[in-house]
Each structure stands twice: as C-alpha cells, then as structure tokens.
Amino acid sequence: MAAKPPTTIQRRIVVAAGICVLAFSTIGLRLVDLALLKSRQGGTAGIAENDTVVRADILDRNGRLLARDLPVYDVYARPHDFWDKAEAAHGLAEVTGADEQRLARAFAGKHNYVLVAKQVTPVTREKVMHLGLPGMEFQPSTKRFYPEGDASQVIGMTQAGNGGSGIAGIEKGLNAQLAAGQPERLSLDMRIQYALLHSLEVTRAKYSARAAGGIVLNVNTGEILAMASQQDPKRHDYNPTRNIMAADDYELGSVFKLFSFALALEDHTITFDTTFPVGAGFKIGRFTIHDAERMPAVMAAKDILAQSSNVGTAQIALRSGPERQRAWLQNLGLLQSTHTEIPERARPLYPSNWGQVETATIGFGHGISVTPLAFVTAAAALVNGGRRIQPTFLKQDDDRRGEQILKPETSLRMRELLRYVVTNGTGKNADVPGYDVGGKTGSAEKNDHGRYIAHKLLTSFCAVFPIDNPRYLVFVLLDEPHGESAVMALAGHTAAPLAGDVIAHIAPMLEMPTSVAVPGKGNS
C-alpha cells in the first residue's frame, strides 16, 4: 500500500521544526563565540556592570577628592555586521581616538571581533552608540583617576586594569582597606601641598638645584599636611614619581646639631653661656675640624648654634660621648627606618665603629644619613614638650603625643635656642613677621665615594612656628643649589628663605594667629 503524501499541516510542522533547529543552532554558535572571546580577553568579557570591582576613594583632610574609580569600557566591534567597513573605521576612529588605518585593516580581515579602544569614558561610549553601527559591544571596567596630581608621590598608583592593586604610596600601603571599599581620609591638606610644591618649584629653578623637597608636619598629632619633592628634569636619573623625602637618605649636616644641643641640655653638660674655643679649629686624632666661615676665637654655646659652628658643636657632642650619643639618637628613632602608611622608606646609614671621631662628626651632621621624614619625626619631639610622635598620613582628631623622651624644660630651652638662631643667627631669612618662627640651617658637603666635595652642598632648613607654642614644623632641602658665590649657596641664603616663603603662604591657610600687626591683617 502506497504511503500517503504528507498533508499541508504535516509539511508546516516540519518547516517549523527546521526553523527552530536553525535558530537554536545559531544561538548555540553565538554562545560558543562569546565564550571564546571571553577566553581570549582574560575571562572578563562577560562581566556585568554591577560585577565590576570598585576601589574606595582617597580624600584629603578637607574632603577633597584625590583618587576614585570611574566606570570605563573596552569597545569591541563585529566587522561582519557593518554595511560599510571603511565608514565604520572612520567613525569609530573619530570618536574614540583609535588609529583609523589599524581599524580598517582589522575590519577587512577575518576577525569575528576587533578591539576598537580600551577604557573609554561613558561620554565616549555614548558617542560610539550615536554612530548607529550594528555589532558594537562594550565591556565594562573601572579606571583609577587622580584629579590632584600635586600629591602623586604620596598617593602613589595602582596596577592597570579592573580592580588593580596598589603599587606605590598610599595606594599600596592601604591596599587592603581600599580594595575592601573603605574610603580613606588623609592628613594631607591640598592647599598646603600646592603652596609647598609651588615654593619648591620656584626655588629649585632659581638656584638650578638638582632637587628640592619639603615636609609640613603637625608636631602634636604627627599628621603630615604636605610632602613633596621636585627634581631637575634634565637629570639622567630623573624620576618624578620618587618620593625622596621618605625613600632617600641624606647626610643633613648642621640641622642635625639640634640633637647634639638637646642632649647636652638634657644632661646639663652645657648652658647657653658655656664657652668653647672655636676660631683655630679643633683637632681630634689625625683630623682637624674647621668651620665653613670665619668664627670668633671663643663662642658661647647659644652662638655656636646660631652661627652654626662645626668646631664648637663637635666639642659639645664629645661631652656626651659615643655611648650616650648613640643611645640618644636610637631613642629618637634616628637609627631605624621610619614606618608610616606608605611603603616608601630607607634604612639609616651610620658607622658600626662609633668612637670619638664619629661622635664629633655625627654631632654636626656628617657621617650619618637619615631620611627627611625620620629627621622631622625626631625634631618634632624636641619642640612639642619632649614627647614622641608617630608620623601619619591619616587625618587625626586629637593630640597624639606619646611617651616623654626628653624633659619638658629641655624642649622649652630648645625652642628658645631655635628662635635665637632666627633672630640672631643664620636663620634670619626664614623669619616671617607675626609668626615667631624658630629654626636651624643645614649646609652639608656631599660625600662622593668617601670624599666630601666643597662645592656640592645639600642645604636645608628646619622651621617651627609659632615657637612659643609650636604646632607646625616645615622642613625643606635643596640638592646642590648654585648661588652667586660659595657663601650665597649656603642654607642661610637658599633653604632659609625657602622655608620662610612656605610659612608665609601656609600660615594664613592654617588660620594661625599673628603676634604682631601684619600688613593687610589685624592683630589677633
């Protein structure tokens, strides 16, 4: 019996089934294609927008945005969907900034997917969509933006890519907290940071220095309000991202005399009026210590610091002796690395054999190298009543002074000495009317393979204000400044006016009351 031909209904069922099979096959192939794309692009092509990893914000102490993750997109195209591949390449290049020739070549090939541009902003994404091109896809991600580049050496950076880990600065030091979505408010004040950076830039250029750096520190809370450094871009080792104030050691020279005087006052080995023979130099062992400038035959201790005599300071340091000096510097934290929320740090360099000669030279800041951050941390204790502080880049709400490490009366005497240096000594160019600045100059010959070079100086100034009740410390340094003469390159003519310029700019921002009438200001 012959089979009956299929009815119309049966034929329609077969056709419909075929269409369904074709449709599901197409969908299956598309899913395979997407899976392959995902594999090719590191397994992230299918990330949904609500799955992107968002790193927390970093803010300055006043809530100013320093770092934030913002949404971006990687743009992909399916060239086979384009009606006109050349026109598509031209349009996409125009709105994304991609190379038009690269896109044209890629679209003309056999690629199913082509990466058009990486990490475009939402605005650019909208422009792409307005082109009306078929076959466009957007892979969501995030990119770290830093709207305040003036603090980049402290803030650091992250690895490129979605949810990248911190690799420097605060981004690395507080990586776990930021990755967990915990915003961080820093101690930095971007107004102070900008003022410091501006003064450093101007002064470095004025004296053609290799580098310049500075720190502004609250001596009672340990908060770092500003930290910056500038390098000569012509240097062969120029690295604008390097934080030389935390990561580099320096023989700071005469600013280190502060610690010798504080120890002598603490142990009552001198008074302000104790006299020492100075003018003829000081012989110790086979060495003779001299001063950079001519000094009187005999000087009182207060004038030894005010005029920055190496000869006088060496004798004062020797009254303490090697063991006591070393223990003193150890207790001040100068013989170990200084730890903060940033990973950048360096170990101090000092002699393993600490004898009489070493005690004399360390007394005036030669033969020992420390970071500027370590120096200001120790110097703060000399003026804040004698209490230890922990430097921090996080905003604090109260006084964080710790244990007593020198007597309050020693701290008071040191403040008197620092003011005397500014009113009667080498620090005159750092004085700012109304703010009662105290401070100390430092001019150190740089050590080149064991030999000190007279015309290569590191100059610095440590300023504290207001000196009767200190709140802020400003430290600045210049690496190889060039003055009109050797004398004009010394710290009193280079670093001291730089510190004064910084204070003049930041004191009003900090709402510091003035002790006398200042032009344009009333008494307060």
Q: Exposed e or buried b for every residue in 6-17, given b needs 16+ CB within 10 A?
A: eeeeeeeeeeee
Mean pLDDT of 48-68: 82
pLDDT tens, 116-125?
999 999 999 9
Span 175-206, pLDDT tens digits: 999 999 999 999 999 999 999 999 999 999 99
Does the pLDDT of residue 361 top 80, yes or no?
Answer: yes
Domains, the chain = 49-185 (3.90.1310.10), 191-509 (3.40.710.10)
Over residues 467-483, mean pLDDT: 96
**Rounded Cα gap, residues 335 and 328, in angstroms:** 10
Q: Are 497 and 463 in contact (CB under 8 A)?
A: no
pLDDT at 160: 77
pTM: 0.85
Q: How confident is the model at residue 170 (pLDDT cuts 50, 70, 90)?
A: very high
Q: Is 254 a catalytic residue?
A: yes
pLDDT at 163 exceeding the cut of 60: yes
- Cβ contacts of 235 within 8 Å, gap of 6 or more: 210, 211
Residue 479 has pLDDT above 70, yes or no: yes
Average of per-residue pLDDT across 429-447: 95
Whether residue 214 contacts residue 195, with contact meaning beta carbons closer than 8 Å, is answered with: no
pLDDT at residue 29 in the model: 43
Confidence band of 164 (pLDDT split at 50, 70, 90): confident
User: In this model, does residue 215 exceed pLDDT 70?
Assistant: yes
Check if the beta carbon of residue 156 is closer than 8 Å to that of residue 171.
Answer: yes
Query: Per-residue confidence at 426, pLDDT binned at 50, 70, 90?
Result: very high
Q: Which of 199, 254, 308, 369 is catalytic?
A: 254
Pairing verdict, β 58-59 and 184-185: parallel
pLDDT for the residue numbered 5:
57
Cα-only R_g, the chain: 33
Per-residue pLDDT band for 35 (boundaries 50, 70, 90) equals very low
Note the pLDDT tens digit of each residue in 274-329.
999 998 999 998 889 999 889 999 999 999 999 999 999 999 999 999 999 999 99
What's the CA gap between 69 and 289, in Å, rounded? 57
The Cα 306–Cα 300 span in angstroms is 10
pLDDT digits (tens, 9 = 90+) for 85-104: 999 999 999 999 999 999 99
Rounded CA separation 317/328 (Å): 11
pLDDT value, residue 166: 95
In the structure encoding, which two tokens stand for residue 515, read together? 């002790």
**Is residue 467 a contact partner of residue 273, using CB atoms and an 8 Å limit?**
no
The whole-angstrom separation of Cα 255 and Cα 444 is: 9
Hey, what are 524's tokens? Answer: 């307060």
Strand ranges (E), 110-252: 114-120, 136-145, 157-158, 166-168, 184-185, 211-218, 224-231
Q: What is the pLDDT of residue 34?
A: 39
Q: To the nearest whole number, what is the mean pLDDT of the chain? A: 89
- Dist. CA 321–CA 78, nearest whole Å: 79
Cβ proximity of 93 and 103 under 8 Å: yes
Q: Is the pLDDT of residue 251 over 80?
A: yes
